[in-house]
Each structure stands twice: as structure tokens, then as C-alpha cells.
Homo-oligomer: A and B are copies of this chain.
Amino acid sequence: MSEVQTRSSTHRLHDQLDAIVDLLHQHDDEPLPASAQETLRRQLDALHPADIAFILESLPLDDRIAVWQLVKAERDGDILLEVSDAVRESLIADMDRHEILAAVEPLDADELADLVEDLPTAMLPELMASLDSQQREQVQSAMSYEDDKLGALMDFEMVTIREDVSLEVVLRYLRRFDELPAQTDKLFVINHDNLLTGVLPLHWLLVNSPDKMVSEVMAPDVNTFHPTDDAYEVAQAFERYDLVTAPVVDSRGHLIGRITIDAMVDVIREESESEMLGRAGLREEEDIFASIWASVRNRWAWLAINLVTAFIASRVIGLFEGAIEKLVALATLMPIVAGIGGNSGNQTITMIVRAMALDQVNANAIRRLWRKELGVALFNGVVWGGVIGIVAALLYDSPTLGVVMTAAMTLNLLLAAFMGVGIPMFMIRMGRDPALGSSVFLTFMTDSGGFFIFLGLASIFLV
């Protein structure tokens, strides 16, 4: 038993990456000497394309290009498939026409369709001409669907069998393959008209007697999808039913492709990432080593929106300048009222958006949710608002100021709860993604609303 084999895979990968990063760091800011290039090339050759993709993503642009040029040309295509969009752009920018054509040549139609949109458009005619007619049709089919539809993610490599043969025949047929398509866990049973009539899981093929007919053993597949299905909903079905692959059929039931768990895992990860990025107002994933200018472009729209809402909130304060001049404590206390509303409302939004993403909440539930969230807000307002009210009263020696503070905090928390439920519900009804924008709009309401409530109450009761 070698030492390597008892070491866990996750540790081994980290060791290899550290070695490569170390090597690059020893030659920081200078070109790699030939001997080091040779060492690096050997290390890279031993790595899985996904690991090389990972290394490329972790490197600043100059190191990244240096490593990219050491990768064997025939692996370029597989690696381009694995890297993030932002990094892919930087790698393709470094390749010439000839290198790009060579890189994409070994790819399957569905993989090619993934890459096509990142390639220089001038190259497309030449690229399409290099494909045979079936491949061309498959690439065009995959490209005809939006990125979030299943049709853009399905692949065309699958094993189909007829139902009127014995398992023995199927076993003999399979032995004629050198390899089955990756992740094959079931064979698709079709009739003479290419209609899907069932599926035969590989392990049923193995545990049943070879004399049985496919039709006796196969299952009518209950998990069949359409190319127009929403990819994220299908990913949820994969998760729910622990699927590895599933057939994709057209509206008349003809088998046109299959979908695999690895594509669905990517969909799940991308969904949560785009939600996370979207909440912070990042338009797309960012290559962390991107230029300042690329980052500015990615982030400016969100900052502009926030500046506008902050400016409006500032004008709300402007309405009460007279009151603030008379009682400057108001200026000191007002950010607390606004801030607590924003925090609390964002908790409500996070919880509701998450439940919506899991389809657990429908429009009928809105009144029940409002009742609950307003209850939570009232409790927090009385307790926390009470604490801060007492502190404010002691600090400025004014019981009335304390009461105004408690009342303002409670009212702003109620506003936050009302909006925290209402905004995402409203966005869903408008057919928009509640994960994007709900939070900005809520913070705008709790800032402007908080200032208005607190300064308004103070104007009435204090000055």
C-alpha cells in the first residue's frame, strides 16, 4: 500500500496546487527559466482539466497566461469548459485563430455550444463549417435555447436500446462499445419511431437474468424532461429524486437528448452564486484579478442606484433641518432608527426569498406571513426600542425624547416587516426575481421612512 493511496484526495490536490504556486512565486516578476517550465509542464500534464482550470482561476493574469501556454494544446478545450466565464475570456484573448480551432475540435456538440458565445464571432462560420451535419444541427439546437433552459444543457451522447430484445442481446451490444458515455446509469428504451418508451437502469441489467426481455424489466420513466423546461427546476427534481441522468424528449415524446447530474450541480451552484452576487449589486462574477476598469463597470450601476436612494433619504432629513437645529440630538439618534429597520427588514426578505426559491410560499400565504412578521417587529420594537429609548432619555436627560425614540423604532420595524414581506411578493407577482433589487428597495424605504418617522414625531412632540 503506497503512502499516496491512503492520503485523502482533497489533501493531495491542495499539495499539488501549493507546489505549483510555490514554483511560480519563486520566479515572481520574471519569466520562468526553461527547467522550471519543464517541471511545471510535467506537473500540469498529470492534473485533471478541472484542476488546471482551478489553478488558472487562482492566478493573476500574467502568471495565468504563462501557465496556460504550458498546457498541452489538445487539453485546451476541456479546460476552457471548466473555467469561469471571466477567466475564459482572458484565456481566449491570448489564443490565435488556429489554436482556438484546434482546442474546440475534440469537443462534443453540447460542449461546443457552451463555448461558442465566448469565441470571436468572426470565427463562427469557419468553425461551423468544420463540423459534420449532425454535429452542426446539435450545436445549433443547443444554441437555440436560452442559458437557463434545459435545451442549452442537454447532451447527445447516450445509449438507446429496443424493448423487444433480451438482456443478453443488450449485454452483447454494450460490449461493442469501448466506453459508455460518462455517467451512464441507465439505457434509454425507444421504439422504431424514436419515441421513448422506458428506461433500463444499468443495475437492473446486471441483477436480472439475461434471458429476460427488456420490456419485462424496463421501467416507464417518470422523470422525463423537455428542452424548454427551466434548468433550475429540473435541477431541483434531480436533487429531490436523487437522479444521475434523465432523458429529454420533445413535445411528442421523441427522445432528443439526456441531462446529467454534473450539469445540474453546476446549475445549483450558479443559481446560489448569482443570487449572492446579485444581492451585492455585482452584475456578474468577477475575475478577482480583473482590471480596475472591468471592476468599475461591473459595480457602477448598483452604486448609482444606492446614491440616488441615499440622496432622497438625505432630502427627507432636509425637510426637518429646523427641528435638528433646535435639538441636535436628533441628528445623532436618527441613524439608529434607520439602521435597525434595514437590518430587520433584510432578515425578513432573506427568509422569504429563500422560501420562494424553494417554492414553499405562494401568494395565498401573504396575510399569514404579514401577521407573523408584524408580530416579530412589534416585539423587537418594544424590547430593543425600549432599551435604546431608555439610554437616549438618560443620555439627553429627556424622557420625551426616549419615548419618541422607542415609538419611532417600533414604527420603523413595523414598516420594515410590512415591506420585507410585501416587496418580494410584489416582485414575484410582477414576474421578476425577488432576490435582485428587493433589498435596495427595502433599505430605501427603511432609511427614508425611518428618518421621516423619527424626525416627524420629534417635530410634533419635542420642538
Contacts and interface: CB of A to CB of B under 8 A. Distances in A.
Contact of A239 (B185, B195, B262, B330): B262
A282 B179 contact: no
Please tell me how many copies of the chain the complex holds.
Answer: 2
A225 B331 contact: no
A175 B208 contact: yes
A169 B267 CA distance: 40
B202 A206 contact: yes
A285 B179 CA distance: 44
A202 to B, nearest CB: 5
Interface residues of A, number: 144
Nearest to A233: B10
B178 A242 contact: no
B207 A306 contact: no
A437 interface: no
Given A253-B5, A280-B350, A388 B307 contact: yes
Contact of A207 (B177, B246, B272): B177
A94 B437 CA distance: 39
A288 B8 contact: no
Contacts of A314: 332-333, 335-336
Nearest to A254: B6
Given A209-B175, A282-B351, A347-B302, A369 B288 contact: yes
A335 B335 contact: yes
Interface string A321-348: 1001100111111111011100110110
Tell me whether chain A's interface is mostly helix, strand or loop, or mixed.
helix
A110 to B, nearest CB: 14
Contacts of A207: 174-175, 177-180
5 contacts: A9-B224, A276-B276, A281-B347, A310-B336, A328-B331
Interface of A: 1, 5-6, 8-11, 13, 21, 25, 48, 50-51, 54, 57-58, 60, 171, 174-175, 177-180, 182-185, 195, 202-203, 205-209, 220, 222-226, 229-230, 233-234, 236-242, 244, 246, 249, 251-253, 260-262, 265-266, 268-269, 272-273, 275-277, 279-282, 285-286, 288-292, 295-296, 299-300, 302-304, 306-307, 310-311, 313-315, 317-318, 321, 324-325, 328-336, 338-340, 343-344, 346-347, 349-352, 354-355, 358-362, 364-365, 368-369, 372-373, 375-376, 379-380, 384, 387-388, 391, 447, 451
The 10 closest A-B pairs by CB, nearest first: A272-B272, A331-B331, A280-B350, A180-B203, A292-B375, A50-B240, A242-B262, A8-B226, A310-B339, A10-B233
